[in-house]
Structure 1
Amino acid sequence: MEIVIDLIDETESMSKKEISWLRDILQSACEKEQVQEGSELSVTIVDNEQIHSINQQYRGVDRPTDVISFALNEDEEIADNTEVPNLLGDIVISIEKAKEQAENYGHSLERELGFLAVHGLLHLLGYTHDTAEAEKEMFSRQESILSDYGLKR
């Protein structure tokens, strides 16, 4: 199954290998979540200043965060036989926050970026963590995807 993943590193701090790896984990997560083939999403890697601005503008929160997702087709059904692409949405990740959190949690940057990317993807797919039950479901799914990919805590 192939998902179109447009990955833009606005910080120009990631290697081609890291970008390829990030696409790969998202492809794997999409397979596990049975995302419709040909679906599209974008991932943008930014710094704390950029994500702070986005967080303030769209969420009214005056601080940087680690990941923000913008779903494009929330609550819309996409027919399997349509010529219209299934546009999942956009994921924005702060590379600075990812590095900081990897250090604080005592794991690799790869693990943290994988966690943030999968977390963002699951939001695009409709998962939330606004209730204890929803949080348990989403985080369980996240850990399963990361563990199956080989990114264990």
Structure 2
Amino acid sequence: MSSVLPLTEVLVVADCWRTEPDAAAVIYRAIGAAAEIADADVGDAELAVMLTDDSGIRTLNSNWRGIDKPTNVLSFPALQPTGPDGACDAPRMLGDIAIAYETTRREAEHEQKPFDHHLSHLAIHGFLHLIGYDHEKDDDAEAMENLEQQILAQLGIPDPYADRERTH
């Protein structure tokens, strides 16, 4: 397993997050566990997590995905440089994750789970997208969900998919 974790910067850009003073610590812990368990090659990499509100994420969702509504989490993997290795001494960017407060809060309450558990899940989900996981196809979704369950279990967080009926 990788012992070096990605450099993660948490940026609070919406005042509503001030009600969750431990949010950054929750995110650092979740991404650290995800990097170790997914055994991702991210030791020299950086990522940013932007804690925004529904309005901010709605704008991102509309601009980047053409979906004019808020969502819980968005991931923006960075384009990797294609030049010769060593051409740039800058750290490798994994990309950015945006998480919306109101949607995250609403979903946690609806699913009757602690806010920090849901926030951990969303941070892990976003991170897995940055390192190449996807859930467009059933097989890919199952692999990604299994990895999320494993990482969350390591953090002592119950399976977020346990109550859902499997359709396949």
Q: C-alpha distance in 1, partners of 2:153/2:80? A: 27
* Aligned partner (choices 68, 77, 80) of residue 71 of structure 1: 77
Question: Which protein has the larger Cα radius of gyration, Structure 1 or Structure 2?
Answer: 2
1:8 is aligned to 2:22 = no
> Residue 119 of structure 1: SS of its match in structure 2?
helix
> Residue 113 of structure 2: SS of its match in structure 1?
coil
1:139 is aligned to 2:165 = no
* Aligned partner (choices 35, 38, 44) of residue 44 of structure 2: 38
Identity, % of aligned pairs?
26
Q: C-alpha distance in 1, partners of 2:135/2:114? A: 24
* Aligned partner (choices 115, 135, 148) of residue 121 of structure 2: 115
Q: Deviations over 1:22-70 (max 9, x none)?
A: 1121112111222331211000011001101110010000111111000
1:17 paired residue number:
22
CA contact (8 A) 2:8 2:48 kept: yes
63-72 or 3-12, which moves further after superposition?
A: 3-12
CA contact (8 A) 1:74 1:126 kept: no
1:102 is aligned to 2:105 = no
CA contact (8 A) 1:28 1:149 kept: yes
What is the deviation of 1:21? 2.4
One-letter code aligned to 1:127: Y
What is the deviation of 1:4? 0.7
One-letter code aligned to 2:158: K
One-letter code aligned to 2:124: V
Q: C-alpha distance in 2, partners of 1:83/1:44? A: 25
TM superposition score normalised by structure 1: 0.89
After superposition, the CA RMSD in angstroms is 2.2
**1:79–1:21: structure 2 CA closer, same or farther, 3 Å change rule?**
farther
> Residue 48 of structure 2: SS of its match in structure 1?
strand
Q: C-alpha distance in 2, partners of 1:104/1:7? A: 26
> Residue 120 of structure 1: SS of its match in structure 2?
helix
One-letter code aligned to 2:28: R
